[in-house]
Amino acid sequence: ARELLRVAGAPFTRIVAKIERHEAVAQLAGIIEATDVVMVARGDLGVEMGQAALTGLQKTIIHETRLRNRVAITATQMMESMIQNPVPTRAEVSDVANAVLDGTDAVMLSAETATGKYPVKAVAAMSEVILGAETYHLTMSRPRERSDLAFSQTEEAIAHAVMYTANHLHVRAIVALTESGSTTLWMSRLRSDIPIYAFTRHEGTRRRVTLYRGVYPVSFDIRPDDTTPLHQRIFDLLMSLRLVEEGDQIILTKGELSGVQGGTNSMQILKVHRANS
């Protein structure tokens, strides 16, 4: 698949692997390593593996996906009754909430919005459940830092340092100046209630990071001819979007060389202030 994308001139297009067969479960680790996004396709998977095994399989697939720094999508019949009804069942509410608690990056609707009578209400209901589950998740569980990790990439080391610091310091936001979004993906694998803002000039990167849990894209370009200091431009934009207030602390990650993918090698703790203050 990678070679086909390269030949087609789309090397940065992401590959999504649907896990829906017994054979796929048996080769799960290899499939995750070979892809960018993993979809838990629970309809066919339940038929193949049995409904009783489905809950455990969902948890395992999501866990293994996040462990390997990939993105997880949970799909199929999440709000099925809303094809015909304006409100979800309690079972559907629990289903969506449990996917969030399992650590999924995204949940997906299909027939509910494609052919259902209440597409807008289905999206609104799912959003409400997600927000409630995330609040519970962050209140009842704290992140576990590990000291036995060996990092293979500088970005990975920076991401772990950032999230450890953010979870132990009163930080309002994390800002990552990024070309590809890879640093924010590493960060999003580590649980935190602190929002991560991916500042990037690339539309493709902004679209990509919307799938990363807890990461929000912001259009931003570093212009050599801009006389305003970089930190101040970041502060001004964050305040204009009402994401932070003057006096808040943020963590900033960036690379020494602008425009280089995979070049993130520094983090800074900064206090937000207005120009000339």
* CATH code of the domain covering residue 108: 3.20.20.60
111 and 218 together in one domain: no
136 and 159 together in one domain: no
Residue 45 lies in a domain: yes
CATH code of the domain containing 252: 3.40.1380.20
C-alpha 213/C-alpha 8 separation (Å) is 29
166 and 260 together in one domain: yes
**Do the beta carbons of residue 251 and residue 175 sit within 8 Å?**
yes
Residue 146 lies in a domain: no
Of 95, 115, 140, which closes a domain? 140
Which is nearest to 189 in space by CA: 215, 218, 171? Answer: 215
159 and 78 together in one domain: no
132 and 198 together in one domain: no
136 and 6 together in one domain: yes
Q: What is the pLDDT of residue 150?
A: 72
Q: What is the pLDDT of residue 165?
A: 93
The model's pLDDT over 130-159, given as tens digits with 9 standing for 90+, comes to 999 988 766 544 555 555 567 778 888 999
In this prediction, the residues of the chain whose per-residue pLDDT falls under 70 are 137-149, 257-260, 262, 277
Residue 215 lies in a domain: yes
132 and 158 together in one domain: no
Both tokens assigned to 138? 């962050």
Range of the domain at 7: 2-140
The predicted model scores a pTM of: 0.86
Of 87, 117, 140, which closes a domain? 140
Q: What is the pLDDT of residue 251?
A: 97
Residue 235 lies in a domain: yes
C-alpha 63/C-alpha 72 separation (Å) is 9
Of 140, 166, 183, which closes a domain? 140
Q: What is the pLDDT of residue 35?
A: 94
